[in-house]
Amino acid sequence: MGKKDKNKKKGKGAEKTAAKTEKKESNKMKKKLAAMGEDDVEKIIAQIEKEDSKRLQVKIVKVEPPSRRINFSFIPHPDKEELILFGGEFFNGQKTFLYNDLFLYNISNGTWSIVKAPGGPPPRCGHQMVASSANKGQLWVFGGEFASPTQSQFYHYKDLWVLHLSTNQWEKITSSNGPSARSGHRMVYLKKQLIVFGGFHDNLRDYKYFNDVYSFNIETYKWTKLEPTGTGPSPRSSCCMIPLNDGKILIYGGYCKEKIKKDLDKGHVYSDSYLLVPDKNDTTGTKWKWMQTKLGGIHLTQRSGMSNALAPNNTAYTFGGVFDIEEEETINSTFLNEFYMLDLGTLSWRNVTLSGSKKEKEIKSRRRKDKNENPNDDDDNEEEKMDTDETETSTQPTVVADDGIFTVTVGPATVDNSASAVIKSDKPDIFQPSARMNCGLAVKHGILYLYGGMFEDGDRQSTLSDFYSLDLRKLDEWKTLINDSQAQEWLESESESEEEGTGSSEEDEASDNDDDDDNEDVMQTE
């Protein structure tokens, strides 16, 4: 008994010391912020929430497309011909801007609207959002982070919100026993449950990565911490988390950082995969087990920041990502624009081959016709050789998914351990969106939509606002819906900043989106 009591007291002493240290560091930070003229981050968030609560009615306002951003959420509307985009962040070289705007993209007419509703979630990035048709339509948002303009402070959320899509009214859920504050986690909707996995918390003094699993029942409004049996994934953020038709959940890849020694961290990019499997005899939805699995087909090189979206015919599509090579003082990053399909039935990666537009096909047909009329033309012989090479590639075995409505033809699921196993079109003249990480991917009625993301060029961070679509039934070509042609604002870190390009700043752009003085384009909801 005495030994146990000693250990108990020792533990309490350690907790008190940690609390004192935290308070001391917090007071130091407040003094530093006061000197910089910056408020405490919690005070900033409280002020934003106060301002949002003053809005008394719901408005849906037609606006220009969203400003440049990364780490937003982008999903299809469960019932309407719309896509939904929420939150995100933008960095202009000097300041960070966080958003809590909720955009709707009307697929039929190609227009954007913004939903202005009272008392919604404060600005954030790195959160997760899912939607369902249950209870007349619901949009769920959990977690994420907020950064002060100078990035000297970070605040992680553990709040859960629901937007009732029939009324466009936000509700903050007050259920206890949920996940701790975090961002970079993943969340899926499965059988009236929200399942949350992983993520990280970083306050600039310390950080922690998670591999815990929670479920939230959308009928009882209760959180449950799941304790799956078996050996699961190591702690990580930014993984792919995909619900399968048989009730299982696939976890693939992710990123984690660990401390090697004082002031030295090392990042780990994972390429392992696991299945979270429900107990067949469980009626509560709380009994699960981990099973490690291996994805077959094409070999993917290591990467993080790869976006994914569910598609028809039990498939998922992924785009982009980044791979960092860390050295003592520098990080060399390779950004990717590789495009893959994951067959969720066989759990294998497959090569996607775009066929090209009708115009391109007509040009090639004309070249072949000219070759037949001029068989001795050297240039045409070379063209013919290229066409023959393409024909040989296209005659390899293909996999065709066909349910009578939706047909997809993809390349062979061969294994290739070389870097050449990248998934690009076989034809170099077919357009592919540029390399990026953390773009938005969403599929609606067999059309894949890609929005924004970010890549780095040296010390410059380029945040994108381009927008593309691809018909997954044809797999012919990417269509450009918004061309990101204007130069991005980028300010030097010194006091004298230099702005590149023309046009208003991102802050002004965001301010324009929040302007309530719109007249003709305002639609009041009843």
The confidence score (pLDDT) of residue 413 equals 41
- Same domain, yes or no, for 380 and 493? no
Which range (16-20, 290-294, 315-319, 500-504) has the least confidence? 500-504
How far apart CA 372 and CA 7 sit, in angstroms, is: 90
Q: Residue 524 CB: number of other CB atoms within 10 A?
A: 8
Are 441 and 317 in contact by the 8 Å Cβ rule? The answer is yes
User: At residue 510, does pLDDT exceed 50?
Assistant: no
pLDDT the model gives residue 422:
36
DSSP 170-223: EEEE--SS-PPS-BS-EEEEETTEEEEEEEEEE-SS-EEEEEEEEEEETTTTEE
Please give the helix or strand (H or E) that residue 51 lies within, else none. helix 41-53
Q: Which residue would you say has higher pLDDT here, 104 or 486?
A: 104
- The CB density around residue 390, as the number of other CB atoms within 10 Å, is 13
DSSP three-state, residue 99:
strand
**Domain residue limits at 124:** 51-174+486-526
Is a pLDDT exceeding 80 seen at residue 3?
Answer: no
pLDDT score of 405: 35
The pLDDT tens digits of the residues spanning 211-227 come to 999 999 999 999 999 99
Backbone angles phi, psi at 460, to 5 degrees: -90, 130
pLDDT band of 194, cuts 50, 70, 90: very high
- Residue 261 predicted with pLDDT over 90: no
In-domain check, residue 421: yes
**In DSSP terms, which residues pair with 11 in a beta bridge?**
none
Of 109-123, 172-186, 229-243, 387-401, the least confident: 387-401
Domain shared by 421 and 495, yes or no = no
SS3 at position 245: coil
* DSSP classification of residue 127: -
Q: Is residue 187 part of a domain?
A: no
Q: How many CB atoms lie within 10 A of CB 93?
A: 17
- Return the percentage of the chain with pLDDT > 90, whole number: 58
Closest CA to 269 of 237, 308, 293: 237
Of residues 490 and 373, which shows the higher confidence score? Answer: 490
**414 and 444 both lie in a single domain:** yes
Lowest mean pLDDT among 135-144, 185-194, 229-238, 349-358: 349-358
Q: How many CA atoms lie within 13 A of 194 on its CB side?
A: 29
In angstroms, rounded to a whole number, what is the distance separating the alpha carbons of residues 159 and 182? 10
Contacts of 498 by beta carbon, 8 Å cutoff, 6+ apart: 491, 492
Q: What φ, ψ does residue 138 adopt, rounded to 5°?
A: -140, 145
Q: Does residue 238 sit within a domain?
A: no
Domain for residue 34, yes or no? no
pLDDT at residue 228 is higher than 80:
yes
Collect all residues with Cβ–Cβ distance below 8 Å to 432 and sequence separation of at least 6. 337, 339, 424, 425, 478
| Number of domains the chain is built from | 2
C-alpha Rg value of the chain to the nearest Å: 25
- Tell me: do 468 and 525 sit in the same domain: no
What tokens does 393 get? 């590639």
Give me the mean pLDDT over the 258-274 stretch: 89
pLDDT score of 397 more than 60: no
313: left (phi over 0), alpha (psi -120 to 50) or beta: left
Residues 397 and 515 both lie in one domain: no
d(CA 241, CA 256): 16
What is the DSSP annotation of 421-490?
A: G----SSTTS--PPP-BS-EEEEETTEEEEEEEEEEETTEEEEEEEEEEEETTT----EEEE---SPPP-
Same domain, 415 and 512: no
DSSP element (H, E) containing 24:
helix 2-36
**Would the pLDDT of 189 be above 70?**
yes
pLDDT-derived band at 266, boundaries 50, 70, 90? confident
3-class secondary structure, 426: coil
Lowest mean pLDDT among 77-81, 264-268, 389-393, 429-433: 389-393
User: Residue 167 and residue 139: Cα distance in Å, rounded?
Assistant: 12
Q: Are residues 498 and 448 part of one domain? A: no
Q: Is residue 294 part of a domain?
A: no
Q: Are residues 465 and 496 in the same domain?
A: no
Residue 219 lies in a domain: no
Instruction: Report the pLDDT averaged over residues 494-509.
Output: 44
Is residue 188 in some structural domain?
A: no
Length of the chain (residues) = 526
Q: Which of 472, 494, 514 is the last residue of a domain?
A: 472
Over residues 318-362, the pLDDT tens digits come to: 999 999 887 766 778 899 999 999 999 999 999 898 988 766 556
Q: Which amino acid is at 328?
A: E
The residues, any chain, with a CB within 8 Å of residue 14's CB and separated by 6 or more, are: none
β-pair type (348-351, 296-297): parallel
Closest by CA position to 474, among listed 334, 303, 358, 340? 358
Q: Residue 453: CB partners within 8 Å, gap ≥ 6?
A: 70, 307, 320, 436, 437, 438, 439, 440, 463, 464
**What band does 210 get if pLDDT is binned at 50, 70 and 90?**
very high
pLDDT above 80 (res 245)? yes
Is 239 inside any structural domain? Answer: no
Q: Cα(260)–Cα(43) distance, rounded to whole angstroms? A: 34
In this structure, the answer to whether residues 463 and 326 fall within a common structural domain is yes
2 alpha carbon, distance to own chain's centre: 52
The pLDDT of residue 258 is above 80? yes
Instruction: Report residue 366's pLDDT band, with 50, 70 and 90 as the boundaries.
Output: low
Examine the domain organization and report whether 421 and 456 are in the same domain. Answer: yes
Number of H helices, E strands in the chain: 5, 29
Q: Phi then psi for 283, rounded to 5 degrees?
A: -105, -5
CA angle at residue 189 from 185 to 190, to 5 degrees? 125
Report the distance separating Cα 481 and Cα 484, nearest Å: 10
pLDDT class of 27 with cuts at 50, 70, 90? low
Measure Cα distances from 229 to 178, 272, 279, 291 in Å: 20, 18, 10, 9
| Pair (363, 403) in one structural domain | yes
Q: Which of 120-134, 198-212, 347-361, 454-468 has the lowest mean pLDDT?
A: 347-361
Is 474's pLDDT higher than 90?
Answer: yes
Q: Are residues 438 and 505 in the same domain?
A: no
Among the candidates 433, 450, 472, a domain finishes at: 472
